[in-house]
Amino acid sequence: MPRPKDNVALVCDIGELAGLFEKSAHIEDFLRNAASIVAYHMKAAVCSIYLYNEGERALVLTANQGLNPDAVGRVRLQPGEGLVGTVFSEQRPIREASAARNPRFKFVPGTNEERYEAFLAVPIIRGLSPVGVLVVQDPVPGYFDENDSRAMQTIAAQLASVIQNAKLLMNLRRQPPEAAAVAAPPGLRYVKGAPVSDGCAYGKATVLGVFEDQGQPGPFTADDFRRALARTEAQLADLQRAMEERLADVASMIFSAHLLMVKDSEFSGQMISLIEGGLSPQAAVAKVVGEYVRLFSSSPNARLREKVQDVRDLGRRLVQNLREGPESAPDYQGRILIAGELLASDIVKLAAQRAEGLLLIGGGITAHVSILARSLQLPAVVVEDRRFFGFPAGLPILIDGGQGVVLIDPGDEVLAKYRDLRAARGEAERFAVVGPEEAVTRDGVRVHVWANINILSEIDVARRMNVGGIGLYRSEFPFLVRNDFLAEEEQYRIYRKILDGMSGRPVVFRTLDIGGDKMLSEVPWVHEANPSLGLRGIRFSLQNKTTFMQQIRALLRAGAGADLRIMFPMVCSVEEFIGARDVVSECIRDLRTEDVPHHPDPKLGLMIEVPSAVEVAEELAAEADFLSIGSNDLVQYLLAVDRTNEHLSDLYLSHHPAVLRAMKRAADACLARGKPLSLCGEMAADPKMLPFVLGIGIRVLSVEVRQIPVLHKNIAGIRIEDAVRMAEGLLRMGRIQDIKTALGA
Ligand code: PEP
Ligand code: MG
């Protein structure tokens, strides 16, 4: 005979949970008291709380009332395993009159569970993800009814936030077990992410942001520490010097924060006093680094917040130098770095420290950090799986940045294949033939294939490939990496090197395109609620005329005697283009008055990357000397899909009918006005889109340098007549799926 229950009372009186905090000595105690309350109100013999542990990928019995107390912390179930695991993975309640009759039931020995028949379990869900399972059991078969099930779901919902917080705190206190440090989370063997930066890389995993010191304390003294400090300083100075030579435009004083901290007597002084007070040098480094990280990350000053990664980096280097002899290289050599958000400067620093590759959690292929990784030839993959944040340090990973594949702890056979592939690629690069300046279609139509470059060092490669010109130089990269504005003189030197490097061939300099995902800290728009729709691109330049004029003057001066072309980003109206052109005219007048050598009449163009520019494309074409479609943004703004949001990558579709029709309108407008149109977004390198692009009349494609040889080959396989027919067919289609099928995508 079922006993009367007061579910409703429980739901109403859940306020008594607050009292539980006072009664509980610690978190585990709190959870056990919560289980007792639920058991009491449900009049059930047993109540259990299982919490999901991401590191172990298992549901752990964390609190219990009525079962063998020794089972707590011991019983573990995989998602999908047993009834509890099923409730978790399918996120639905399970109610059984007699649990053992359900084929999914899994008896856990040593719990005393065998005495209970009736079973009711509900998932504990936070947001959209389950965090655990709440279970009640009773010896009376059929004891729980539908009403109980509803009540338990309500209880689970009410408990969810408290339980999740308890879980977070418990995990914070718990040191990761040594053994877990070398095992991949179950099921995490092969992950398909997004290809971001081509190249295969193999190395030991290092999660950035986790201060990793796995070695034994070691018998180090304060003198050992001082030697490590000196070694660290010398290495950083060398690194900085090497960078000044290799990446002059973006790496100017890039390790200055590291160097200053090493020199800071507060920083190293604190470490020394701790060591002299009896702490091991490693513990002293970890303690001071931890304090600085806390200090920096909570600072209201954006500049200080950005230094968090630098401090950690420095701590790692110091400990490494303590452990290893003077000949060791405490760089990231042999490491695949796992990271969430990274700044442009971080990417440069990681590349400088010889990281093998990057596994980025979140972010899109067209995000500027991804673009920079490609420019630096740092293989990278973007994944969505946040479990990588808890990835065990030191476990080997293989990434294929061209395919977007991540292999965890690959076997010898896979590694051998990877080594062959790498060797073959190295050979291919060494013997890469110098291509022709222009590509030619099967029926003899010439197509200009130009290069997009972001950093100065890419000019060498572009030259080796004999490119006809630079179709897009993203001038914001030195600003982004430096996280600051560059003076006219500094800009002049960079621009001059680019133009000299191209020996008279055209170079399209795009003026500063900051804003959106390309932020500089400490500038007024940092607090914009919606940066992609904020003060971005030409809007910023027009509102900050001094900065704009410095850039235009630097360009005009560098462009004296060269084929200088200037292009404005994110233009929304004819007025914006004319406003920008007026600034150029003003700068030319000033330079003439000052008698400074300059380009007197550069070609001026604009990017078509917002829908409003498409609408007024004909009027814009009437004013400008050339136009260029920036498909990365055009797709983003036409479809209202954030280009950096990996969760929306399925909606970010270059072949959407709206995108095709917008491009066709822009192409027709340029044709009508006799103005050249190029395409410089990622779409230009997409072989599936190529016939369409050529079919609507675009004859200048600008792509990343390494994509050039393949693009030449793809162009050579196309007949313009077929491409035109295909484009016409696609433009008649109104459905994404039809276009996708027609493209064979
Ligand atoms: C584009 O938007 O397509 C483009 C080339 O510019 P960026 O990727 O720098 O925004
Ligand atoms: Mg753009």
Lowest mean pLDDT among 45-49, 115-119, 158-162: 158-162
Please enumerate in sequence order all residues whose Cβ is within 8 A of that of 446, keeping only pairs 6 or more positions apart, or say none: 438, 439, 440, 699
Q: Ligand 1, from 369, 474, 663: best to mutate by most atoms within 8 Å of Cβ?
A: 474
Atom of ligand 1 nearest to the CA of 371: 8
Note the pTM of the prediction, 2 decimals. Answer: 0.75
pLDDT average, residue stretch 700-724: 95
DSSP line for 428-477: HHHTPPPPPSEEE-TT--EEEEEEEESSTTHHHHHHHTT-S-EEEEETHH
d(CA 96, CA 57): 26
Q: Give residues with Cβ within 8 angstroms of 21, minimum separation 6.
A: 30
**C-alpha–C-alpha distance, residues 170 and 48, integer Å:** 17
Where residue 334 falls among pLDDT bands split at 50, 70, 90? confident
633 lines ligand 1 (CB under 6 A): yes
Percent of the chain with pLDDT over 70: 87
- Residue 48 CB less than 6 A away from ligand 1: no
Enclosing H/E stretch for 176: none
* Contact predicate 360/389, CB 8 Å: no
Distance CA 43, CA 69 (A): 19
Q: What is the pLDDT of residues 202-234, one digit of tens each?
A: 998 888 866 555 455 567 788 888 888 888 888
CA 339–ligand 2 middle distance (angstroms): 25
Which atom of ligand 1 is least distant from the CA of 472?
Answer: 5
pLDDT in tens, 388-405: 888 888 888 999 888 888
Rounded Cα distance between 400 and 202, Å, is: 9
Closest residue to atom 6 of ligand 1, CA basis: 630
Quote the CA–CA distance of 619 and 607 in Å, as a whole number: 14
Nearest-angstrom CA–CA distance, 65 and 15: 20
Asked whether 471 lines ligand 1 (CB < 6 A), one says no
Residues 6+ apart with CB under 8 A from 433: none
Beta carbons of 737 and 730 less than 8 angstroms apart: no
Residue range 190-198: average pLDDT? 86
pLDDT value for 207: 85
- Ligand 2 centroid to Cα of residue 649, in Å, is 17
Residue identifier of the C-alpha nearest atom 7 of ligand 1 = 632
Residues 162 and 347: their CA atoms lie apart, in Å, by 38
Q: What is the pLDDT of residues 125-180, one digit of tens each?
A: 877 678 899 999 999 999 999 989 988 888 887 777 777 667 665 654 443 433 33
Element (H, E) at 197: strand 194-197
From the number of C-beta atoms within 10 Å of its C-beta (0-12, 13-18, 19+), residue 338 rates as buried
For residue 543, count other CB atoms closer than 10 A to its CB. Answer: 12
Question: Most confidently modeled of 111-120, 259-268, 280-289, 440-449?
Answer: 440-449
Nearest CA among 307, 378, 304 for reference residue 337: 378
Ligand 2 midpoint to CA 630 (Å): 5
The residue whose CA has the least distance to atom 9 of ligand 1 is 474
Provide the token pair at 239: 């690194």
Q: pLDDT class for 713, splitting at 50, 70, 90?
A: very high
- Choice between 697 and 259, residue whose per-residue pLDDT is larger: 697
Ligand 1 atom showing the smallest separation from residue 609 Cα: 2
Q: Which one of 47, 200, 587, 680 is the catalytic residue?
A: 680
Q: How far apart are CA 164 and CA 222, in angstroms?
A: 43
Radius of gyration over every alpha carbon of the chain, rounded to an integer in angstroms: 31
Q: Which ligand is nearest to the CA of 454?
A: 1
- Rounded Cα–Cα distance for residues 67 and 74 (Å): 12
Residue 516 Cα: closest atom of ligand 1: 10
The torsion of the CA quartet 62, 66, 69, 70, rounded to 10 degrees, works out to -90
Return the minimum-mean-pLDDT range out of 87-101, 381-395, 438-452: 381-395
Q: Which residues pair with 60 in a beta bridge?
A: 51, 76
**Total count of residues recorded for the chain:** 745
Look up residue 10 and give its two tokens.
């429980």
Q: Does the CB atom of residue 510 touch ligand 1 within 6 A? A: no
Query: How many A from CA of 639 to the centre of ligand 2?
Result: 14
| Residue 449 to residue 699: CA distance in whole angstroms | 8
Contact 44, 23 (CB under 8 A): no
Ligand 1 pocket residue status of 476, Cβ below 6 Å? no
Given the residues 41, 258, 368, 656, the one annotated as active site: 368
d(CA 312, CA 258): 10
DSSP for 533-561 reads GSS-THHHHHH-HHHHHHHHHHHHHHTTT
Rounded-to-integer distance, Cα 224 and Cα 230, Å: 10
| Number of Cα atoms under 13 Å in the Cβ half of residue 659 | 27
Cβ of residue 704 lying under 6 Å from some atom of ligand 1: no
- One-letter amino acid at 9 equals A
List the beta bridge partners of residue 119: 96, 137
Kindly state the average pLDDT of the residues 337-359. 86
Is 670 marked active-site? Answer: no
Select from 475, 680, 698, 707 the residue to mutate for testing ligand 1; criterion: most ligand atoms less than 8 Å from CB: 680
Is the C-beta atom of 537 inside 6 A of ligand 1? Answer: no
Calculate how far, in angstroms, residue 537's C-alpha sits from the geometric centre of ligand 2. Answer: 8
Phi then psi for residue 379, to 5 deg, are -55, 135
Q: Is 47 a catalytic residue?
A: no
Helix (H) or strand (E) holding 357: strand 357-361
User: Which residue from 633, 659, 698 has its CB within 8 A of the most atoms of ligand 1, so it is best to mutate?
Assistant: 633
Helical H segments across 559-600, by residue range: 574-594
Residue 411's pLDDT is what?
81
630 CB within 6 A, ligand 1? yes
Domains and CATH numbers, the chain: 8-170 (3.30.450.40), 190-428 (3.50.30.10), 432-606+677-743 (3.20.20.60)
pLDDT greater than 60 at residue 526: no
Distance (Å, rounded) from C-alpha 38 to C-alpha 30? 12
Output the CA 637–ligand 1 centroid distance in Å.
12
> What pLDDT does residue 431 have?
46
Decide whether any atom of ligand 1 lies within 6 Å of the 550 Cβ.
no
Return the ligand number nearest the Cα of 371: 1
In sequence order, the β-bridge partners of residue 206 are 337
**Cβ–Cβ < 8 Å for 341, 362:** yes
What confidence score (pLDDT) does residue 678 get? 98
- Smallest CA separation from ligand 1 atom 8, residue: 632
Tell me the residue ranges of DSSP E strands in 45-117.
46-53, 58-65, 76-77, 94-96
Residue with tokens 């594949």: 405
pLDDT at 432 over 70: no
pLDDT in tens, 465-508: 889 999 999 999 998 888 778 889 989 999 999 999 999 999 99
pLDDT tens, residue by residue, 607-666: 999 999 999 999 999 999 999 999 999 999 999 999 888 788 899 999 999 999 999 999
